Structure 1
Amino acid sequence: MILSALNDYYRRLAAQDKVPASGFSSEKISYALVFSGDGTPLQIDDLRDTSGKKPRPRTLQVPYDKRKTSGLHAYPLWDKTSYVFGVTAGEGKKLAQEHAFFKQRQCELFGESNAPELRAFLKLLDKWHPGMLPKLAGYSEEVLDANFVFRLEGEHQYLHESKAAVKIWTSALDDNDGNVGQCLITGENAYLGTDHPPIKGVNGAQSSGASLISFNADAYSSYGFKEQKNASISKAGIFNYSTALNYLLRRDNDNHQRLQIGDATVVFWAEASDAAHAEAAEGFFAMLNEPPSDEQEAAKLGSLLGQVAQGRPLAELDPRLESGTRFFVLGLAPNAARLSVRFWCADTLDRLARHYVQHHRDLQLEPTPWKGIAPGSWWLALQTAPMHGGQKPKADDVSPQLAGELMRSILTGSRYPQSLLSNLVMRFRSDGHITGARIALCKAVLARAARLAAHSNSHPQEVPVSLDRHSTHPGYLLGRLFAELENAQRGALGDQINATIRDRYYGAASATPASVFPMLLRNAQNHLSNMRKKDKGGLAHTIEKEIGAIIDGLGDTFPKHLKIEDQGRFAIGYYHQSQVRYAKRDSTPTEEASAQGENA
């Protein structure tokens, strides 16, 4: 399914001239050697893009047949300096062999051509010796081991782009060899290939590329077939899927079909009646995962999602979004020299949009911890990383499996991973950051689980979006109670205390309430008495009344233990109660109100 969808996507890209034709590849080229008609090397042209801080190679479509391995292999009319010139920055134990192999292959391909530019190129190879390179204009040590192409003096196109060279190379490709069989991608009988090009651009994978399809041990052999022969894929199919995937993974600034979630590099594409509708769908999905920073654009997206939530199809809301558009999302993770498929989703754009709407509903929390619509999934995954000493969370600290499972649940509308809730509860205890974003994720996990359980004739208590004074859930009530006890402490001792009860007792209070709350309640009486002595009797009365109301809902005894779901509700209750107090302090900046609560 993955390869078939990529094969179809290649055809769309090829029709738009966005990808190379069969037998060519988009490779990073840094320099061009300019030579004269008699084969004399003249100068080195720097082709790199110098618009940024560091020069970057230019991407050119060059002849390509298979990836290099440990053996010798040279490409037609381009290669790195060890092959082209017999020069390298390293030891170069095989320099002579590599350069000789390069010359041999060029002669085999173009030796019988009468094209002037190719005859001049062959003369260049005859004249060349490695000592010429440092004497050429434009030479520096930066050229060593870079990829080179060739250009005849006076010509604007590179040698590999000439009609004669393209015709000869295309003809050489048509001389197919190998077995004929049914291609697993297209279902057609064709020449089967065994060499799968490297997939480049996956973060954490080898810079030279990694394999998506690979067999290297006897355990993977089947029916006597070895290595890549186990995958019956035609040469054309191999080229198409690999070219399309490498196009999606390119690191260009204008590539909006690629994003990073944990260790997974995610790419996506659409299939519609024409390229315009497909590109519009891809742009819409990109905005869902990275909401626009512009307020007007964000408001438009929020309005559109709101109407989707009411059941209106996307095609009615935006004529560029076609009904029935198929959409594909692929998450790839590095695995040594190979790639692992972290997740794969194929669905209609309308259904994906509804899943994202439900995701935003599940995240809904008051007060809202962000401006506008909910942030992208990569930002949410980042909230599961530890936050110590005021430092921002790092992507490297996000669990790879958790990030992938989170993205899969968003795409499919299935349950969020239970490990997400466990991870968040653990973070509350370890780093003490009970942030709104983390609480929203807790609420999302519990709300979705409750909704899906309701469909199976179970009736769990609803997870509140904002402060619910009527909720009787023990975990939620205990969280509210803990927030009020902290408010009492702050009211008595002020905001400048070194450590609050949250810093010292949050973990125990949320996991084993019976062991902590009796002591906290005794201390609260001292705090309330202290507040009355400081002429804060009104505030003390308000807090005492709130504590009493919460305790009345709990019953006679505190629970000995709270399971992980109840600890999540504890955090939500704590957040709601704290934020209400904080909001009151902002709206009525009196002496009493200023002593209550903090922004959790």
Structure 2
Amino acid sequence: MSMANAPLPPRHGIVPSLIGLYQRLADDDNHTIARPGFASQKVHFAIVLRRDGSLSAFRSVQQQNARGKLVPRQMLLFDSGSRSGTAIQPNFLWDNTGYVLGADDKGKAKRAGMLFDAFKAFHREVAETTDDESLAAVVRFLDSWQPEAAVKIENWDSIVGKNLVFQIEGETAYVHQSPRLIEYWSQRSQDTSEHSVTAPSLVDGRVKPIARLHPPIKGVAGAGTTGAAIVSFNQVSFESYGKKQSFNSPLSETEAFQYTTALNYLLADSSRRVQIGDATMLFWSDSPSTEAEDLAFELFAESPTPKEPTSDDLVLIDRIKHFLQAARDGTLADQISDANAGFYVLGLSPNKSRLSVRFWWNDSVEVWANRLAVHVDDLRIAGLSDNRFPVVRSLASQTVRDPKETPPELAGAITRSILQGAKYPDELWRSVVRRCRVDRNVTPIRAAILKACLNRSVRLRQPERSTDTSEIGVARAGQRFVDYSLNQEMPSNAYQIGRLLGALDLVHLASTDNRIKESAAARMLSVAVATPASVIPRLVKLYQLHRTNLPEDPAEARQRKVRTRRTFERSVADIFLQIQRFPSNLSDREQALALLGFYQQRQHFFRLQEPDPEAGSA
């Protein structure tokens, strides 16, 4: 029966959703995914044998990736199951050099010899019941091979420890691709299942042969190279009712194979995974189209524009611009076909030999696209390019001095906020406030973070209000949505104080014809936004001195490339009218508003393009 006609489990949990992905891929002729008893593995070299079993050569099967680097080739190979601890368990017709040649780089020659003996005995056993000339040649090679000869192999240093397969000289196919051996292994895997422990499966409740161990999951950043497990019980304290290992969490052998194979398939596809802090984020959909996954990768993966972009790079840049514009217009979901299909996002983090689920989200493609559109709109602010989408890693790195010190859990929390449409983590905006004060600088991306966090916090406290962040309406506690650009009527005392600091900064710079790198207001920004009453009176006195150095004549102002004294004085006076008082201290949230006022006042000045310096306000 086709997997498409088989009853599918409800796709709300992680395992059922991955099983659904496996079944869809298995029925799609455009995808190659392992069947039960087989697994996709990374292979570096092939041992080329003559028909009599003598060694002909070692041939690299590695291939170049997009960056020109040699990487192992993914091959569908026979799967003997996961190895537990130090147990010796050879694979069929492939393995690492320790098993295949009895030599590795671990410095334990005796154990390597034991691995080789087990590998040789296993293949002898299979050859006795299987009539295959290629397998017979492999067995003859193993019988004649001496492990101590491995070090004499040309380029041994690049071969040792790697995975090897077999090939007969003159043949294009590998030995493991023999139809007779594939049929044998499929039957062997089925016979093994018939002798397994049976119990109701947690996926659908049906009684099935239960997997004692689940296949390893490979490719999660930071996890062991041999793989890790989500479901694993190896201590007595973890057991219940006398059930050992994965019998505590019963999944059938087929289900365990399907969900882990689907995970490994996603992890092996660089366009379906993104690193978010210490979590490896995977995403997939129920749709045959890959538009939603492509969009997720393009907007979440950190791929800087190359200095000399190729035609493919330019196409990608145009696509991102198109998607961002659609997000701003609220039409992002309309740009993706099959919007009602399910969309899934899974974040996995390493935890020694196990994996932790950092985040899990699933809904429709349309809901995901709309959540992403809201996130894009929340981050929009004057001064930050509309064609630039700050990825999660970039947002989280704004909280620390060195990006390498970014808290890994923060990136995961930001991702959850985006997916769930929830409030951004408080740690994000509070840490950005601290960085702005320490660095005495409010960059466009930091301002975007502050705006997004404040707006979303206000909006979620008022569910009856529109989710359109461009709306200007009075929020609770006297707060309003922070606009895309300067709002001169913003009813926030802290925001207006920030505007004043921005104006005083501009006056000082203009009074020196922009010859100084930092104004007095910028130098005192950290203290000014925290305790305005202690600093601003001093800055106002300095302003009285600085303004006397500003040109009064428009012609002189044009020559000096600054604005006239009257323009600045009018701007400062207008801001003073909006300020109610200079408090002794501001709360963290008020400091965020003050920093936004400082940033937007300066951006407003820089964006004014009138040829006449007398026109407009600063």
Q: How many pairs were matched up?
A: 570
Q: CA deviation at 1:437?
A: 1.3
Quick one: distance in 1 between partners of 2:135 and 2:408?
51
Aligned 8 A contact 1:44 1:139 in 2: no
Q: Do the aligned partners of 2:499 and 2:601 also contact (CA within 8 Å) in 1?
A: yes
1:206 matched to 2:213? The reply is no
Change (3 A) 1:331 1:61: same
Does residue 1:480 correspond to 2:499, yes or no?
yes
CA gap 1:132/1:401 in 2 versus in 1, 3 angstroms? closer
Equivalent residue in structure 2 for 1:539, among 564, 573, 585:
564
2:358 corresponds, among 342, 346, 350, to: 342
Given that residues 109 and 168 in structure 1 are in contact (C-alpha distance below 8 angstroms), is that contact kept between their aligned partners in structure 2? no
Q: 1:109 to 1:149 in 2, by over 3 A?
A: same
Question: Structure 1 pair 538/214, CA: closer, same or farther in 2 (3 Å)?
Answer: closer
Contact 2:80 2:92 in 1 (8 A): no
1:246 to 257, 264, 276: 264
Contact kept? 2:212, 2:246, Cα under 8 Å: yes
Matched residue SS, 1:404: helix
Change (3 A) 1:303 1:464: closer
Q: Match for 2:141 among 124, 134, 151?
A: 124
CA contact (8 A) 1:110 1:168 kept: no
Residues 1:38 and 2:52 aligned together:
yes
The answer to whether residue 178 in structure 2 is matched with residue 162 in structure 1 is yes
Is residue 48 of structure 1 aligned with residue 62 of structure 2? Answer: yes
The answer as to whether partners of 1:111 and 1:122 remain within 8 angstroms in 2 is: no
Q: 5+ unaligned residues in a row in structure 2: which ranges?
A: 1-12, 304-312, 466-474
The partner residue of 2:436 within 416, 428, 433 is 428
Distance in 1 between residues matched to 2:102 and 2:612, nearest whole Å: 77
For 2:522 and 2:563, the matched residues in 1 are separated by 27
* 1:524 and 2:543 are equivalent in the alignment: yes
2:525 is matched with which residue: 489, 498, 506? 506
Cα separation, partners in 2 of 1:298 and 1:110, compared to 1, 3 Å: same
Does the aligned pair in 2 maintain the 1:269–1:282 contact within 8 Å? yes
Closer, same or farther: CA 228–249 of 1 in aligned 2, 3 Å? same
Matched, 1:9 2:34: no
Q: Give the residue type in structure 2 aligned to 1:571.
A: L
Match of 1:105 in 2: 122
1:563 aligns with 2:587: yes
Distance 1:280 1:244 in 2: 19
- 1:41–1:124: 8 Å Cα contact kept in structure 2? yes
Aligned partners of 2:241, 2:567: CA distance in 1, in Å? Answer: 79
Q: Who is 1:95 aligned against?
A: 112
Q: Which moved more, 1:323-332 or 1:197-206?
A: 197-206
Q: Is the 8 A contact 1:515 1:560 kept in 2?
A: yes
Residues of 2 paired with 1:327 and 1:533: CA distance?
Answer: 62
Q: How does 1:142-161 map to 2 (within 5 A)?
A: 142-161=158-177
> How far 1:50 moved relative to its partner?
4.7
Secondary structure of the residue aligned to 1:233 is coil
AA of the residue aligned to 1:543 = F
Instruction: Provide the rounded CA distance (Å) in 1 between the counterparts of 2:236 and 2:441.
Output: 50
Alpha-carbon distance, 1:371 to partner: 3.8
The answer to whether the aligner puts 1:229 opposite 2:254 as a matched pair is no
Q: Which residue of 1 aligns with 2:327?
A: 305
Q: Distance in 2 between matches of 1:118 and 1:90?
A: 29
Change in 2 beyond 3 A, CA 1:199/1:383: same
On the 8 A contact 2:440/2:523 being kept in 1, the answer is no
Q: Give the Å deviation of 1:425.
A: 0.4
Match of residue 141, structure 1, among 137, 157, 170: 157
| Pairwise CA RMSD | 2.7
**Per-residue CA distance 1:148-177 (angstroms, 9 max, x = gap):** 111123322111111222122222212223
d(CA) in 1 for partners of 2:611 and 2:351?
A: 56
What amino acid maps onto 1:168 in structure 2?
A: Y
State the one-letter code of the partner of 1:5: S
Matched residues in 1 for 2:481 and 2:329: separation? 24
* 8 Å CA contact 1:472, 1:554 repeated in 2: no
Q: 2:376 is matched with which residue: 347, 355, 360?
A: 360
In structure 2, do the counterparts of structure 1 residues 14 and 562 end up closer, same or farther at CA, with 3 Å as the change threshold?
A: same
Instruction: Structure 1 unaligned segments of length 5 or more: list them.
Output: 387-392
Q: Is 285-294 or 505-514 further displaced after alignment?
A: 285-294
- Superposed CA offset, 1:387-407 (max 9, x none): xxxxxx63x332222111111
Give the distance between the partners of 1:522 and 1:30, measured in 2 at CA.
Answer: 73
Match for 2:116: what amino acid?
H
- Contact 1:266 / 1:332 at 8 angstroms: preserved in 2? yes
TM-score by length of 1: 0.88
Q: Which amino acid aligns with 1:493?
A: T
Q: Measure, in 2, the Cα distance between the counterparts of 1:544 and 1:339.
A: 61
Secondary structure in 2 matching 1:495: coil
2:485 and 2:604 in contact (8 A); partners too? no
Matches of 2:490 and 2:47 in 1, distance apart?
76
Aligned to 2:344: 328
Distance 1:264 1:588, change over 3 A: farther
Displacement after TM superposition at 1:512 (Å): 1.3
Secondary structure in 1 aligned to 2:282?
A: strand
1-structure distance, mates of 2:350, 2:435: 26
Which of 58-67 and 452-461 deviates more? 452-461
CA deviation profile, 1:281-300 (whole Å, cap 9, x unmatched): 32344344359864643453
The one-letter code of the counterpart of 1:476 is: Y
Q: Which residue of 1 aligns with 2:310?
A: none
Alignment of 1:413 with 2:421, yes or no, is yes
Is contact 2:552–2:566 with CA below 8 Å preserved after alignment? no
Larger mean CA deviation between 64-73 and 464-473 belongs to 64-73
SS at match of 1:111: helix
Equivalent position of 1:289 in the other structure: 300
Query: Which of 178, 181, 197 matches 2:215?
Result: 197
Q: Kindly provide the amino acid, as one letter, of the partner of residue 65 in structure 1.
A: S
Number of the residue aligned with 1:550: 575
Residue type of the alignment partner of 2:602: S
Q: Structure 2: how far apart are the matches of 1:322 and 1:54?
A: 36
Mean alpha-carbon deviation: is it higher for 138-147 or for 282-291?
282-291
How far off is 1:587 after superposition?
4.9
Per the TM alignment, residue 480 of structure 1 is displaced from its structure 2 partner at its CA by: 0.3
Query: Residue 22 of structure 1 is aligned with which of 14, 17, 36?
Result: 36
Distance in 1 (alpha carbons) for counterparts of 2:339 and 2:161: 50
Matched, 1:262 2:315: no
Q: So what's the TM-score if we normalise by structure 2? A: 0.86
Deviation at 1:321, TM superposition (A): 1.0
* 1:81–1:286 CA distance, 2 compared to 1 (3 A): closer
Question: What amino acid sits opposite 1:36 in the alignment?
Answer: R
Point out 4+ residue stretches in structure 1 off by more than 6 angstroms: 532-538
